[in-house]
Amino acid sequence: MVAAIRQVVDRRLTRYLLASVGALAVDMGTFLALLTLGPSLELAPAGASASGYALGIAAHWLMSSRAVFVGSLAERGVARHRQKVLFVASALIGLALTTGIVGAGDRAGFDPRIAKLAAIGVSFSVTWLLRSRIVFR
């Protein structure tokens, strides 16, 4: 029984990792494009990071709700709305972590891309825990 539960969790984590990679592609593509355009847009690296993350959130909901947590997706109506609110709340926690880490790294003189890599690891871990244990419970 324990082995079966572990196998389901492992598969779900693998699917979540793949969904995160897809969302990260949206996030990083936006981030790098805005970094390139940043000086002309007067956009700081933390703002570019927040914008990329926000678009990644939308992509992640689509992939998570349709491919990762399929059996845990709430029925339409109040329950689904609650789930979306919790998902967005978990994403905002990840956004705050990401923006804070990139902003702190930038102020400390680190290359924003290196700070973003650190932020990715922290945000992934925190949002996985929140989503697997609270949002899609």
The two three-digit tokens of residue 46, written as one number: 């933390």
- The per-residue pLDDT of the chain, averaged, comes to 90
Give the per-residue pLDDT at 8. 64
Instruction: Supply the pLDDT for residue 40.
Output: 83
Q: Is the model's pLDDT at 79 over the cut of 90?
A: yes
State the pLDDT confidence band at 97, using cuts at 50, 70 and 90.
very high
Name every residue whose Cβ is closer than 8 Å to that of residue 72 and which is 6 or more positions away in sequence: 136, 137
User: Which residues span the domain enclosing 11?
Assistant: 2-135
Q: What are the CA-CA distances from residue 8 to residues 60, 78, 91, 114 (Å)?
A: 20, 27, 24, 33
Number of domains in the chain: 1
What band does 53 get if pLDDT is binned at 50, 70 and 90?
confident
| Residue 75 structure tokens | 């029925």
- Angle (nearest 5°) at CA 89 between 86 and 93: 140
This prediction has a pTM of 0.73
Q: What is the mean pLDDT of the segment spanning 7-25?
A: 88
CA distance 65 to 40: 37
The answer to whether residue 90 scores a pLDDT higher than 90 is yes
Q: With pLDDT > 70 as the criterion, what percentage of the chain qualifies?
A: 96
49 pLDDT band, cuts 50/70/90, is: confident
Mean pLDDT of 67-71: 90
